[in-house]
Amino acid sequence: MASKLKLRVNGVTREVDSAPDTPLLYVLTDEMHLQGPRFGCGLSQCGSCSVLLDGAEIRSCVTPVSAVNGKSVTTLEGLPQWYAEQKTLAKAPELHPIQQAVIDEQAVQCGYCYNGLIVKAAELLSKNTRPSDRQIREAMNGHLCRCGTYPRMMRAIRRASEMMRDAHSGAETTAADETELAANATGDSAEVAR
């Protein structure tokens, strides 16, 4: 059944054994044992299976592997390397800034949706390093999180945006940035002793 299709996945060219109509998701999970993209709906409704195809987010659950023959796929696992290529860094960082920001914000609950949330946010930040609150909501709106971690994910995206600017533009955080961040704040938490 070998389909003689070839994919470049996270920088490595791989031959595909599955039938050409097989959704890319099953090739990535069952053949290549990747644990980033994962099944959520199979209907292009949730974003659980998102990967980057030549830098653009797609839903691998409804994309036949034949449609991506010869193309370059980046999964959650490959984001640091992809980021390094984009920014022409000598070496891939440990984590893509959005991954680091999600840890810093402790945004995750079950984390199952975070493949999609992170991949989509990485795509957004690659096109717009300073997305506004509105732009974040718009870009992310096709990605669901049943645990309700949207507010923290929004904070993580803003934090990653800050990190990327600090690291690559050489610009210091300006007063205006701080104001914007404060104005956009999705919420503060408080611990009260009684």
Selected range binding ligand FES among 40-48, 92-100, 123-131, 155-163, rule: CB under 6 A:
40-48
Position 61 contacts ligand FES (CB under 6 A) = yes
**Minimum distance from residue 115 beta carbon to ligand FES (Å):** 10
**Minimum distance from residue 12 beta carbon to ligand FES (Å):** 23
d(CA 128, CA 136): 10
Give the residue from 36, 33, 81, 37 showing the smallest Cα distance to 63: 37
Write out the binding residues for ligand FES, residues 90-109 only, by CB under 6 A.
108-109
**16: which DSSP letter?**
E
Bridge partners of 6? 15
End-to-end CA distance of the chain: 67
Q: In angstroms, what is the C-alpha Rg of the chain?
A: 18
If contact means CB under 5 to 8 A according to the sort of partner, which of ligand FES, another protein, none does residue 59 touch? ligand FES
| The pair of three-digit structure tokens given for residue 77, joined into one six-digit string | 């696992």
Number of residues that bind another protein (CB under 8 A): 65
**Minimum distance from residue 74 beta carbon to ligand FES (Å):** 16
Write out the binding residues for another protein, residues 127-186 only, by CB under 8 A.
136-138, 140-141, 143-154, 185-186
> Environment class of residue 129 by beta-carbon count within 10 Å: exposed (0-12), middle (13-18) or buried (19+)?
middle
d(CA 190, CA 63): 44
Position 193 contacts another protein (CB under 8 A) = yes
**Minimum distance from residue 171 beta carbon to another protein (Å):** 26
Which residues here bind ligand FES, judged by CB under 6 A?
39-42, 44-49, 59, 61, 108-113, 145-147, 149
